[in-house]
Amino acid sequence: MKYLAGRAFVALLFLWTLTGSCLGAVDYDQLFRQSSDLMAQGDLDGALELLRQVPTPAAGEEAGAFVSSRMQAARILASQDETTRALAVCQEVLKLFPDNSEARNFVAALKDQLKPGWHTVLSDTLRFLPSLAKGAVMTLLLVLSTMLVSPLGGLLIALGRISTLRPVSWLCWFIIWFFRGTPLLLQLFFIYYGLPSLGITLAPFTAAVIGLGLNYSAYLGEIIRGAIQSIDHGQMEAAKAIGMSYGQAMRRVIIPQTYKRLMPPIGNEFIALIKDTALVSTIAMVELMRAADQLFNTYFNITALMLAAVIYLVLTTIFTFIFEKIEYRAGIYEHR
Amino acid sequence: MSIANQPLLKLENITKRFKKLTAVNGVNMEVAHGEKLVIIGPSGSGKSTLLRSINLLEEIDEGTIHFEGNEVGYVLRNGKRHLDHPQAISALRAEIGMVFQHFHLFPHMTVLGNVMEGPLTVQRKSVEEARSIATDMLIKVGLSDKRDVFPATLSGGQKQRVAIARALAMRPKLMLFDEPTSALDPELVGEVFDTIHTLADEGMTMIIVTHHMGFARELADRVIFMESGNFLAEGAPEEVFSKAHDNERIRGFLNRLL
């Protein structure tokens, strides 16, 4: 019923426009409005028919309405999965205006749709990979810097904690208490956005490495302390008995024996670190997460996020293997 | 008094308390150059604590230690006794070798590395020199063929001989043995005793805490029987080990063991 009414309406309109064109002045705005109405009612064929009535302009004639009508038609067809017909309509526009960017972009998008699915993913991948790779390099730089800084910081904190000098021990306890007890995100915000108000302005990368470094030093400090204290007390006595100082005993005897025990928990922490670098995206750093987020927001394309996930997995897998290798090497003296 | 006449080690009124327990109760003792002193007694009698006090692994509560005629280990500061500064203590330990019941070899170093460690790190000798000293010591304890393996692959007896070599590499003036065979299977005890015997024959001054009476009797110049932190008897082995010892406690202890 509704359909018939629509048809009748179209016929009336058709007559009306004919008269209009006879009069030499077509109200294109009204035409577009009516076609939109038809679309809203679900009568796409009707809408298309209306749009078709905008004539191909002669050379020199005003062509805005023509281009708009054809592009609108192309969009309708594309939404109906009539990709080939939509392409043909776009070609009509391009025949007259080869440089029309709207038509060109639409043709490119339609051609993408004609390819099989994996092909689209592949071309998206190729399109996104350069910026994701740049982000991944930044993530890797952050990870490596923190991996360099935090074991040293952790060792200092661990030695401080077991020191017989009370103030040193308390200071290290406080550092661990603070950095383990507050969110890493808050620490990063404080260092990057908060410190400038105290007159200390840091570059994003510096702020990120300081934040991650302090946080991970606190965690590694406790792990290293545990490992040191797990070494048989007889080792320290034997070292002292041959005349070693406390420092020599630590450096030559105790700490080298902790490496094997340290690797599993430190490996855990460093895997977590790879993913924690994503938090750094909040302090104006374009690392992997930020790069993926930007692509996702620009193209609204989920491939960007999936690719980022794959890159994170690749990174964590590589590091897992490296840690396992190091653990094996560090404990080689225990193999019989 | 010439160096040859004065004792190498002289302990006066050594007292060590653990909370309420008095582990060593004001004992006096002298050890001459080249002397082999064996300390026996039931477990918990304070033998190990006394031995560990000598190289300051235990901090004593009272008493003085003289090594080569000099008072060592402690200084008076504001009328209170304190441990001497760490360098002085390390320097003393470097001259006193110690062998532990549980070996305490450094597991992450090869056999050669273990023996080289003292000369290399403490005495700051060159790698070549340290290696040559260590090689000599391993030959002395009969383990030069094991120089490149890690301790984990050795038997208990071999481990203890490496530990002896490690102590000897520092060229100590005094060797302390804290129950060196107590953690060993019976068939492995002999090789360690043989090694200690060789050392004794070379004239090394040593104090040995042990439960092996046969070994004590055969090696010792002098035997001390210790119980509850006190010396119950002291003298030549044939004296202390005589079955007709006048002290009933010693008689009982020896009868259980011999």
Sort B82 into a burial class: Cβ within 10 Å, 0-12 / 13-18 / 19+: exposed
| Residue of A170, A176, A173 lying closest to A220 (CA atoms) | A176
SS3 A301: coil
Q: Do B91 and A238 touch (CB under 8 A)?
A: no
Beta bridge partners of B40: B225
List the one residue out of A238, A83, A72, A150 whose CA is nearest residue B102.
A238
Q: CB-based contact (8 Å) between A236 and chain B?
A: no
Q: Which residues of chain B lie closer than 8 angstroms to A235, CB-CB?
A: 104, 106
A334/B150 Cβ within 8 A: yes
- Angle between the N-to-C axes of helices A83-96 and A101-114, in degrees from 0 to 180, rounded to the nearest 10: 150
Question: Is 50 exceeded by the pLDDT of residue A22?
Answer: no
- Top residue of A164, A165, A232, A242 to mutate, by most chain B CBs within 10 Å, is A242
| 3 state SS of B225 | strand
Q: Where in chain A is the domain with CATH 1.10.3720.10?
A: 119-334
Q: Taking 70 as the threshold, does the pLDDT of residue A18 lie above it?
A: no
Question: What pLDDT, on a 0 to 100 scale, did the predictor assign at position A16?
Answer: 55
Angle between helices A117-161 and A166-181 (to 10 degrees): 160
Set of chain B residues whose Cβ sits within 8 Å of the Cβ of A261: none
- pLDDT band at residue B178 using 50, 70 and 90 as cut-offs: very high
Residues A264, A220 contacting (CB under 8 angstroms): no
Q: Do A241 and B108 touch (CB under 8 A)?
A: no
Residue B183's pLDDT band (boundaries 50, 70, 90)? very high
| Fold adopted by A2-115 | 1.25.40
For position B31, what pLDDT does the model report?
A: 96
For chain A, give the mean pLDDT.
87
| Structure-token pair, residue A42 | 């679900």
Least CB–CB distance from A238: residue in B87, B96, B100: B100
Where residue A265 falls among pLDDT bands split at 50, 70, 90?
very high
Of B104, B108, B152, the CB nearest to A238: B104
**Residue A122's pLDDT band (boundaries 50, 70, 90)?**
confident
Ranges A2-11, A63-72, A198-207, B156-165: which has the least confidence: A2-11
Residue A81 confidence (pLDDT): 77
Chain A nearest-CA residue for B167: A242
Q: What percent of chain A has pLDDT over 70?
A: 91
> How is the beta sheet containing B230-235 ordered, strand by strand?
B96-99, B174-178, B205-209, B36-40, B222-227, B230-235
A119-334 domain in CATH 3.40.50.300?
no
Q: Where in chain A is the domain with CATH 1.25.40.10?
A: 2-115
pLDDT band at A24 (very low <50, low <70, confident <90, very high): very low
Distance from CA of B26 to the nearest CA of A (A): 24
Residue B138, domain member (yes or no): yes
What residues does B80 pair with on adjacent strands? B77
Exposed (0-12), middle (13-18) or buried (19+): which is A279, by Cβ within 10 Å? buried
pLDDT digits (tens, 9 = 90+) for A311-321: 999 999 999 99
Are the C-beta atoms of residues A172 and A157 closer than 8 Å to each other? yes
Query: CA–CA distance from B104 to each of A241, A275, B54, B119, B190 (Å)?
Result: 11, 41, 19, 18, 20
Contact B141, B119 (CB under 8 A): no
Residue whose token pair is 């302990």: B11
> How many structural domains comprise chain B?
1
* Nearest Cα to Cα of residue B50 among B63, B68, B67: B63
Contact flag A241-B105 (C-beta cutoff 8 Å): no
- Confidence (pLDDT) at A153: 97
A241 vs B: CB within 8 A: yes
Instruction: Find the domain containing B141 and state its range.
Output: 103-172
Residues of B with CB under 8 A from a CB of A: 55, 57, 86-87, 90-91, 93-98, 100, 102, 104-109, 117-118, 121-123, 150-153, 163, 166-167, 170
Nearest to B144 by CA among B135, B152, B156: B135
Of B90, B106, B163, the CB nearest to A245: B90
In this prediction, residue A320 carries a pLDDT of 95
What local confidence, expressed as pLDDT, does residue A98 receive?
Answer: 84
A29 — pLDDT class (breaks 50, 70, 90):
confident
B1, with CB counted inside 10 A (0-12, 13-18, 19+), is exposed
Express each pLDDT in B59-68 by its tens digit: 999 999 999 9
Q: Which of A94-108, B68-82, B215-229 has the lowest mean pLDDT?
A: A94-108
Cα–Cα distance for residue pair B211/B213, rounded to 1 Å: 6
CA distance B222 to B236: 5
Instruction: Tell me: pLDDT of A336 over 70.
Output: no
Contact B108 A243 (CB under 8 A): no
Residue A45: both structure tokens together: 């064929």
Inter-chain CB proximity B118 and A242 less than 8 Å: yes
What's the pLDDT tens digit per position in B17-62? 999 899 999 999 999 999 999 999 988 899 999 999 999 999 999 9
DSSP SS3 for B39: strand
Q: Do B166 and A248 touch (CB under 8 A)?
A: no
B18: tokens are 């653990």
* R_g (Cα) of chain A, nearest Å: 34
Amino acid letter, A151: P
Helix (H/G/I), strand (E/B), else coil: A3: helix
Give CA torsion, residues A286, A289, A292, A294, to 10 deg: -50
B239 to chain A nearest CA, in Å?
33
Q: Specify the pLDDT at position A83.
A: 80
Contact status of A253 with chain B (Cβ, < 8 Å) = yes
Cβ–Cβ < 8 Å for A149, A217 = yes
Q: Does residue B196 fall inside a structural domain? A: no
- Say which DSSP state A22 is in: H
Q: Which tens digit of pLDDT belongs to each residue from A235-254?
A: 999 999 999 999 999 999 99
Size of interface A-B (CB pairs under 8 A): 75
A99 and B CB contact within 8 Å: no
Q: Which of A102-111, A121-130, A274-283 has the lowest mean pLDDT?
A: A102-111
Q: Is A165 on the interface with B (CB under 8 A)?
A: no
The rounded distance, in Å, linking the Cα atoms of B194 and B216 is 13
pLDDT at A46 over 70: yes
Residue B148 lies in a domain: yes
Strand-strand pairing, B205-209 and B21-31: unpaired
Provide CB contacts within 8 A for B190, sequence distance 6+: none
Residue B257 belongs to some domain of the structure = no
How confident is residue B94, by pLDDT bands cut at 50, 70 and 90?
very high
Q: What local confidence, expressed as pLDDT, does residue A50 receive?
A: 82
CA distance B24 to B140: 35
Q: Which residue of A has its CA nearest to B124?
A: A244
Is A242 touching B (CB cutoff 8 A)?
Answer: yes
Is residue B43 domain-resident?
Answer: no
The single residue listed with the structure tokens 């007159």 is A199
Kindly state whether residue B131 falls inside one of the protein's structural domains. Answer: yes
Position with higher pLDDT, B251 vs B148: B148
Listed range (A117-131, A267-281, B125-139, B156-170) with the worst mean pLDDT = A117-131
For residue range B96-129, list pLDDT tens digits in order. 999 999 999 999 999 999 999 999 999 999 999 9
Residue B168 burial (CB count, 10 A): 25
Cβ pair B233, B212 in contact under 8 A: no
pLDDT class of A9 with cuts at 50, 70, 90 = low
Give helix A83-96 / helix A64-79 axis angle, nearest 10°.
Answer: 160
The pLDDT of residue A259: 93
Nearest Cβ partner of A244 from B96, B121, B167? B121
CA–CA gap between residue A10 and residue A46 (Å, rounded): 7
Judged against a pLDDT cut of 90, whether residue A192 lies above it is answered with yes
Asked if the structure places residue B128 within a domain, the reply is yes
What is the rounded distance in angstroms from the CA atom of residue A45 to the CA atom of residue A42?
A: 9
Domain membership of residue B216 (yes or no) is: no
Q: Which residue has the higher pLDDT, A3 or A201?
A: A201
pLDDT band at B244 (very low <50, low <70, confident <90, very high): low
